[in-house]
Structure 1
Amino acid sequence: MVSARNVLRLVIKTVAGLLLIGSAIIAYNLSTTPLASIPVIGTLTVFFTALLVISAVLILIY
Structure 2
Amino acid sequence: MEIFAEGLSVIGAMLLSVSCGLLLEELVFGVLARLFFARQPEARNEKERNSQGEFPCLR
The TM-score normalised by the length of structure 1 is 0.48
Confirm or deny that 1:19 pairs with 2:21: no
Shift >6 Å, 4+ stretches: none
Query: Larger radius of gyration, structure 1 or 2?
Result: 2
**Aligned-residue offset at 1:12:** 0.4
The structure richer in helix per residue is 1
Structure 2 residue runs of 5 or longer lacking an equivalent are 37-59
**Aligned-residue offset at 1:33:** 1.1
By relative contact order (CA 8 Å, sep 6+), the higher-ranking structure is 1
2:31 aligns with: 32
Separation (CA, whole Å) in 2 of partners of 1:26 and 1:9: 26
Separation (CA, whole Å) in 2 of partners of 1:34 and 1:25: 14
Structure 1 residue runs of 5 or longer lacking an equivalent are 38-62
